[in-house]
Every structure is written in C-alpha cells, then in structure tokens.
Structure 1
Amino acid sequence: MTEEFDIEKARASAWFRDLRDQIVAAFEGLEDSHDSGPLRDATPGRFEVTETRRSSEDGSDAGGGLMSVMRGGRVFEKIGVNVSTVYGTLGERAQNAMAARKGIPGMKADPRFWASGISLVAHMQNPHCPAVHMNTRMFWTPHAWWFGGGSDLNPCIEYAEDTQHFHDTQKQHLDPHSEAHYPRLKEWADEYFYIPHRGRARGVGGIFMDDHNTGDWEQDFSLTQDIGRAFLPAFVPLVEKRRAQDWSDADKDTQLVHRGLYAEYNLVYDRGTKFGLETGHDANAVLMSLPPLAKWV
C-alpha cells in the first residue's frame, strides 16, 4: 500500500488539476458571453488564483494547491474552485476520527496520509440560477485507499426541469459503469446533504459517495473521473438558461435566506470542512465555500 501507489497518486492529482482548469475556463467563458439581462454591462469576472500550503507541525513540506476565487462577476457573485494535494501525518484528533468512521486499523502506529482532490462551490448573482457544489477526491494511508465526491444542486427558486436535467446528466455518466450506481449515489446524497436541525435538505440533491474502494483502483478512478466529467454538462446549461432572467427584491431575499442553510450545513456537518481544518490546510481555502452574503430570519 506504499510505493506501488505513487503512479496512481500522480495520475489522480493530475486529473483533478485538469478538471479544475476545464471548469475555470468554462466559467470565465460564461462571464464573457453574458450579454443580456441583469448585470450585462458589468465587467466580466475573473478568477484570482492563490497558492495554498498545508502547515505541518514540524515545518516540513506538506503539500498544497491552488485556490481560485471569483467575486462580483456578471454571473457569479462568488465562486471558489480549489485543487490540492497534501500529505504528511494525521494528528491524534484526525486519526481517531478516521479510525472510528472508516474502521481503519493501525492508524496510531502509522498515521501517514496523502489526499488530493478538487472542491467547488458557486454562489450566483441571479436568484434564478442555482448555487452548486462539486468535489472529487482520492485519499490514501498505508492501510487503505478510497475515492469520494459528487455534486449537488442548491436552487433558492426551484425549476423542476432544471432539477431533472441535473440528475439525468449525472445518471447518463454513471450508467456505463453500472445502472446501480445512480440510485445508490442519489440516495447517499439525499442523506448526506440533509440538515437535521432544520429537518430539510439543503438543496435538490445530486450524487455523492465516500469510502469507495472495490479493490480495483482503475475501475474506481474511472468512476470518479466520470463523476467529475458530469459536472459541466449538468450545470452550465442551467446557468445559460437562467442568467438573463430579471429578478425582484423578493427573489434576492429568498436567495439570501437560502444561503443561510448552506452556511449552516458547511460549518456544522460537512466532513471536508472538518478534515481540512483538523489537518492544517489553509483556512481560507477550506472556508471558501461560504457565501458572500446570507440572511437569517
């Protein structure tokens, strides 16, 4: 489980970076092509790119990545696209959490880890355009490896046909692997992206998986890649359809209240937020998912 995975780690890391580059280019293209409707005369948004580093207790190199954030665009009010590859040793708190949740033996004896992935959250200017989240990742320890990730749609004003398109596109990308994947990952997303203290989901769902390891790395990596490939064709057409719609003050108020749900979920329940902060990754990169403005009533 050690050196023989160096090639696989490099391939996964390169794939996540390539997916990041595709998404950044597509979203800046949406900014450039927005020529009608609200904010059409504003300056097209661009991503600000910052290198991030993971801090290790002994000061040794622990990896890092790129944090790409766009604020105040014509289409995107705030969007973050992060990619990272980090490694080192897990602290005691993270060791205990990992061992308890995943049942991995030997974590205290050898707490080394390696993790790579892409994480994206988009908060939109137009309340008719849905917010969205996507991530895919690979995690490795000397004792186990697995993939995880998915994407889910978070409209404040729901359109049934948009929800259907988002789900249908994901199903089309998963079915070639197995027709059992989509219903299983959809149910997993419905359970995972649920806010218990509000008694409701944070959006209209999508797909999600974690701890995915069939024993066949190539097969599992291929599935993870198609989860990532599904994202742009599932989401971009919805933005192109809705970005020119006019909105009212009431629509914007609805959006801000809905964003409060998103913030609550990410700060209280999200595993990625907890893991990133517990393992010393750049706090700004970990918390880039939070909306620029939100409202509670």
Structure 2
Amino acid sequence: MQITNEAMMETERRQAADWFRTLRDRIVTAFEALEDRAPGGAAPGRFEVTPTLRDNDGGGGLMSVLRGGRAFEKVGVNWSEVHGTLAPRAQAAMAARGVPGMADDPRFWASGISLVAHMQNPHAPAVHMNTRMFWTPGAWWFGGGSDLNPCLEYADDTAHFHDTLRAACAPHGADYYDRFKAWADEYFFIPHRGRARGVGGIFYDDLNTGDWQADFAFTRAVGEAFLPAFLPLAEARMTRPFTETDRDAQLIHRGLYAEYNLVYDRGTKFGLETGHNADAVLMSLPPLAKWV
C-alpha cells in the first residue's frame, strides 16, 4: 500500500464517494424499471430510502430497501461515506494486515456501495455486489466484487455472469479476472458447510498499485458491469413457473447465505464494529429463510 496523506487524497476521496452515489442511483432506477416489467397483480415495488448516520458525527449514507415487489422479495442498495477512529479491535486487525501507520493512527475514511438482492422467483438468482474505497493516514485502497447466488443453478446464467465480469476486468489487467475469481472462490466459501455460497464471481481487496486513477477506473468497471451481468438473468427467470419444492430449495439456500454473512463476511463485521447503522449493515439478510 502506498503511503499518502490526508490533504493529497481529499479530491480523490470526493470523486470516489460521488461515483459510488451515482452508481447507487442508477441501480435503484434500473431495479424499479424491472419491477415495472415484472408480471403480477400487485403494484410494482419501490425503494424506501432512509438516511443513516454513524455514531459521533462520523458520516452516514443512504439505506435503500425494496420489499415485497413483483421481481424482488427484498433488495437493498446502500451507499455510505463514513469517517472516524477505528475501534481497537478493528485497528489491530488492520495493523496485522500491514496497513502502514495503523498501529499509531487509527483514523479512517471509507465510502462505497453495497447491494444484495433476494428474488421472488426461485429460478432467479440472488446476487451481491459492492465496491468501496478505504483511506487511512498511511494508505488507501479499493475493494469489492460481485457474486451470483442461485438456489437453482443454470449453467448459461453462470457463464453469462462470469463472461461479463471477465470482459470488465480484461482492459485493466491481463490476470485480474483469474486472480479475483480465485479470490472469490476462496472468500465466499463456507468452511462449516464445506461448500461455496453460490457460483462465484470476483472479489478483491487492498488494491493499491500506486496508480490511484487506474485502480479507481478498474473499480468503476466492476460497478458498471453489474447491471449487464445480472439484469438479463433476472428478467429471463422471473416469469418461470415454480413449485413448492423450488421455493423450499430457495429458503434453504437463503439460510446458507445468512450463515455466511453473519459468521464470515468482512463487511458485516467492519460495519458493526465501527458503529454504522445496524439495519443498514444487516440489510443483506433475506426476509425469509429455512434450516433443515
């Protein structure tokens, strides 16, 4: 990670936070348009938007959640920009990761977008995406990714999702897709179940090549790839007939998803440990789940 300072990064932080907010707005608009196209007698779903505040005047964000829609049973698209001082546990974890200066100065700034969608139709896959920038007085980096979580798997859907991510990665690094796919396969694995939570995607963290503009461009590419990767799958599957057996499989898979997010997910742990709005942090949890 490249050494930096607060004054040098003020403009870059503003650019990143504004772009994450713009991406959030575009995805919310696209998801509401999908609701309009989805079949069903009920009115199409709309996002409920709630401002969030972090403790001690440490910034906040927007929690945007749509519940009980035609296509989406629950989807959250959150944006945040937060700052403050890391709690001792989080500070120690970052110092152990080798973040320069973290042992002496626990200040931080972070901004990003985080999205999780749980669908009405069991044939339509659940999906996760996030991109973020993190700054400390000693370093900056980007992280994020996207992964597909179907309860009923379709090889064509998996191929389309991965092909779209591969194309997004290619201009930014010849090995980026392979590296970050392997990282996702490792990161989204559930050890106590001995399996992955879905069919993968890409994941990266601590990305700092020393070229902020290049790393930001790659992070934008990951965000830009999300709608082309996911929307065609959701639209194609949301009208497919399904059975009670299909619904049961969906609820069981959601239990698996909840286990991962509560036990292993790095973002969930960070959000709760740094005093962010708990409802916003836990918006990734499904509305209904089942364990056998």
Amino acid at match of 1:30: L
**Between Structure 1 and Structure 2, how many residues are aligned?**
288
Map of 2:182 onto structure 1 = 187
The whole-number CA distance in structure 2 between the counterparts of 1:97 and 1:174 is 29
Map of 2:28 onto structure 1 = 24
Amino acid at match of 1:75: A
Aligned-pair CA distance for 1:42? 1.7
Pairing partner for 1:88 from 84, 104, 107: 84
Pairing partner for 2:269 from 257, 265, 274: 274
Map 1:133-144 onto structure 2 (within 5 A): 133-144=128-139
Map of 1:209 onto structure 2 = 204
Secondary structure of residue in 2 paired with 1:13? helix
The whole-number CA distance in structure 2 between the counterparts of 1:91 and 1:112 is 10
Aligned-pair CA distance for 1:110? 1.4
1:259-287 Cα distance to aligned partner (Å, 9 max, x none):
01100000000000000000000000000
Aligned-pair CA distance for 1:178? 1.9
Map of 1:255 onto structure 2 = 250
Pairing partner for 1:15 from 9, 19, 31: 19
Pairing partner for 1:128 from 123, 131, 135: 123
Map 1:168-183 onto structure 2 (within 5 A): 168-183=163-178
Amino acid at match of 1:2: E
The whole-number CA distance in structure 2 between the counterparts of 1:2 and 1:33 is 46
Map of 2:51 onto structure 1 = 51
The whole-number CA distance in structure 1 between the counterparts of 2:235 and 2:74 is 17
The whole-number CA distance in structure 1 between the counterparts of 2:116 and 2:254 is 12
Aligned-pair CA distance for 1:109? 2.2
Q: Which runs of 5+ in 2 are unaligned?
A: none
Map of 1:199 onto structure 2 = 194
1:58-89 Cα distance to aligned partner (Å, 9 max, x none):
xxx21000000000000000000000000011
Map of 2:284 onto structure 1 = 289
CA RMSD across the alignment: 0.7
Aligned-pair CA distance for 1:34? 1.3
**Do the aligned partners of 2:106 and 2:136 also contact (CA within 8 Å) in 1?**
yes
The whole-number CA distance in structure 2 between the counterparts of 1:108 and 1:175 is 36
Amino acid at match of 1:263: A
